[in-house]
A and B are shown apart, each in its own frame.
Chain A
């Protein structure tokens, strides 16, 4: 009987130790979750699919490499590319899911959630919005994309070199459009250029035949389209249909397949950050190979940005885990500041003091539905 009790006690003790051991082990192997606020519905949802394809590939690589002690997952919330739903989604991610790191996109959305990010000490990383104001949203807001002011600063001298100095701007009436207007006003005089007309359109406008008449009347060399989603495609199509023959130019918002495959967009010039997809560095090579295999097309700058955003998290979280520190927003920020450079897609990069990545800008032309790089400009 005693023997039996002893055996039971040993078994129970063994079980307790085993459970405790598992619990201790799981503290290290705890899964890590980050959030993403992308437009998953509405007229800008095409962007959400593209952004998510980059983020998911990065998470897949991080997990395959066992970079972190547990599995990395991404919790998606639908921002609809609108500030109000984005704030609701951000509240859920920070309050309920308590993620330390959130991927953000679109200028209006990013500005709306930045206050919540600061308050909750959650790092928000933008890889899609390009409004220059995004560089001023506080220490917890980072940009892994060069902002529109840099894109305009690269495009304007290129156009001037081609003898295209009279620009008419059609811009969406939001912070992004306004920032491009401001930048064109500031940059054009330096190259002897002129902003001959600037026409703002509300975000929901879908008919541009009247705008086309005004654009033709402006007699510009270049029409700069500063919108996004379905609207920018409608603008390009309707301007061409209504007899506008001037050169089209745009920013990185045009680097989505649905915009480039439009026949009327052929020959359009647009800027993106420069990413050398043919680079032999292992990170870029693996990214390009696996993306092409999964999607049967080359990745765009947006895909690279969100891949980089997730990879950046993994690099920082890995460093924190090595030091035995918890993966919190505050620790991620401290670690980013302490790290001089990161190996991301496109090469080794570093952040400016304001949390924005500095990268060279590339001028591209749409040819037969695909981008062709024309020149790369180093902007300081």
Chain B
């Protein structure tokens, strides 16, 4: 039964990776900005939710505030950090370093405000319920998988059925064409950041309720998001989602075979294999030259 338990656990973890990676992929796919501070948006949303919960505002208000905080952070990063750098024709590397620096700064500010130790919210949602002999699943696991499915469908509908969504997809291919159609690439870029940052919220809330928080949490989230984005295919939101689940499952199922300390290595072994065998990722488009 161990493998079945680990499959359930892998699906829960994978759902969180998938949503966070889809957000990163949406931002990178539309704007070509390596938004390393995406992990900071995750941890910021998680701490805002934690604050709302511990001050008695309640879970619903906490989720709304976390969503607003994550989206505001994403838009602020786009308008106040990336746009000025791009206006001065800063390189890809300059943008990366700025994003990395903001990520570290957010981590430290959260440490100053909330303390640097581990914080947690006590809730019955994180307590596992016995499904069958040797298999326990918490309500949070079902919520995580359901959120991943809902957000993915909603995102696909938005990108394929709305004018803004189609413009976002076009933005990645040709900003000049966007301007020719009278659309504002800067506004579209902010929408991409707002939406991409919104996608971290389910994962952030579930992490706050389930495994607990500390300010350094964003680093791991960003690392996995990056791996899932590359494995799924850069710019492919569906690919990032599938890759998130693959990595979550692999990380957990590896425990059947390997010592627990090697599970993270399994994630990056998959990344390495994909880069070697399919450099464009599982669902990425091959560049033609």
Residues on A lying within 8 angstroms of B by beta carbon are 41-43, 45-46, 173, 199-202, 204-214, 216-217, 229-230, 233-234, 237-238, 241-243, 258, 262-263
**Contact in complex: A230, B127 (CB < 8 Å):** no
Q: Which of B81-89, B118-126, B164-172, B194-202 contacts A (4 or more CB under 8 A)?
A: B118-126
19 sampled A-B residue pairs with Cβ under 8 A: A41-B116, A45-B116, A45-B117, A46-B116, A173-B261, A200-B259, A204-B216, A205-B264, A209-B13, A210-B9, A210-B251, A213-B2, A213-B5, A214-B2, A229-B118, A230-B214, A237-B212, A242-B138, A243-B130
Across-interface contacts of B74 in A (CB, < 8 A) = none
Across-interface contacts of B260 in A (CB, < 8 A) = 199-201, 210-211, 214
Docked complex: B105-131 residues within 8 A CB-CB of A: 108, 111, 115-118, 120, 122, 126-128, 130
**Contact in complex: B211, A213 (CB < 8 Å):** no
Q: Which residue on chain B has the smallest CB distance to residue A211?
A: B260
- Bound together, the chains give a CA A262 to CA B120 distance in angstroms of 9
Across-interface contacts of A209 in B (CB, < 8 A) = 9, 12-13, 211, 252
**Contact in complex: B216, A43 (CB < 8 Å):** yes
B56 in contact (CB, < 8 A): no
How close is A286's CB to chain B, nearest CB, in angstroms?
29
B45 in contact (CB, < 8 A): no
Across-interface contacts of A241 in B (CB, < 8 A) = 126-128, 138, 210
- Bound together, the chains give a CA A206 to CA B221 distance in angstroms of 11
How close is A261's CB to chain B, nearest CB, in angstroms?
10
Across-interface contacts of B111 in A (CB, < 8 A) = 41, 45
Q: Which residue on chain B has the smallest CB distance to residue A240?
A: B127
**Contact in complex: A213, B214 (CB < 8 Å):** no
Q: Given A206-B217, A206-B220, A258-B117, 18 other A-B contacts at CB below 8 A?
A: A41-B111, A42-B116, A46-B115, A199-B259, A201-B261, A202-B264, A207-B13, A207-B211, A209-B12, A210-B252, A210-B263, A213-B6, A229-B117, A230-B117, A233-B118, A234-B118, A241-B128, A258-B118
Across-interface contacts of A216 in B (CB, < 8 A) = 5, 134, 136
**Contact in complex: B216, A210 (CB < 8 Å):** no
Digitize B253-273: 1 where CB-to-A-CB distance is under 8 Å, 0 elsewhere.
001000111011000000000
**Contact with A202, one of B10, B115, B212, B261 (Cβ below 8 angstroms):** B261
How close is B184's CB to chain A, nearest CB, in angstroms?
40
Q: Which residue on chain B has the smallest CB distance to residue A47?
A: B117
Across-interface contacts of B138 in A (CB, < 8 A) = 241-242
Q: Which residue on chain B has the smallest CB distance to residue A172?
A: B261
Across-interface contacts of B6 in A (CB, < 8 A) = 210, 213
Across-interface contacts of B13 in A (CB, < 8 A) = 207, 209-210
How close is B225's CB to chain A, nearest CB, in angstroms?
15
Across-interface contacts of A258 in B (CB, < 8 A) = 117-118
Across-interface contacts of A234 in B (CB, < 8 A) = 118, 211-212
How close is A322's CB to chain B, nearest CB, in angstroms?
43
**Contact with B118, one of A43, A200, A201 (Cβ below 8 angstroms):** A43
**Contact with B255, one of A46, A213, A243 (Cβ below 8 angstroms):** A213
- Bound together, the chains give a CA A234 to CA B115 distance in angstroms of 16
Across-interface contacts of B134 in A (CB, < 8 A) = 216-217
- Bound together, the chains give a CA A222 to CA B220 distance in angstroms of 30
**Most interface-central of B117, B136, B210, B216 (chain A CB within 10 A):** B117
Docked complex: B137-160 residues within 8 A CB-CB of A: 138
Across-interface contacts of A173 in B (CB, < 8 A) = 261
- Bound together, the chains give a CA A211 to CA B6 distance in angstroms of 9
Q: Which 6 residue pairs across A and B have the least CB separation, nearest first?
A: A230-B118, A243-B136, A46-B117, A210-B252, A213-B5, A199-B260
Across-interface contacts of A214 in B (CB, < 8 A) = 2, 255, 260
Across-interface contacts of A204 in B (CB, < 8 A) = 216, 219-220
How close is A302's CB to chain B, nearest CB, in angstroms?
14
**Contact in complex: A43, B116 (CB < 8 Å):** yes
**Contact in complex: B10, A210 (CB < 8 Å):** yes
- Bound together, the chains give a CA A209 to CA B261 distance in angstroms of 14
Q: Which residue on chain A has the smallest CB distance to residue B7?
A: A213
Q: Which residue on chain A has the smallest CB distance to residue B126?
A: A241
Q: Which residue on chain B has the smallest CB distance to residue A241?
A: B126
Across-interface contacts of A207 in B (CB, < 8 A) = 13, 211
Across-interface contacts of B219 in A (CB, < 8 A) = 204
Q: Which residue on chain B has the smallest CB distance to residue A205?
A: B264
Across-interface contacts of B264 in A (CB, < 8 A) = 202, 205
Across-interface contacts of A202 in B (CB, < 8 A) = 261, 264
Q: Which residue on chain A has the smallest CB distance to residue B220?
A: A206
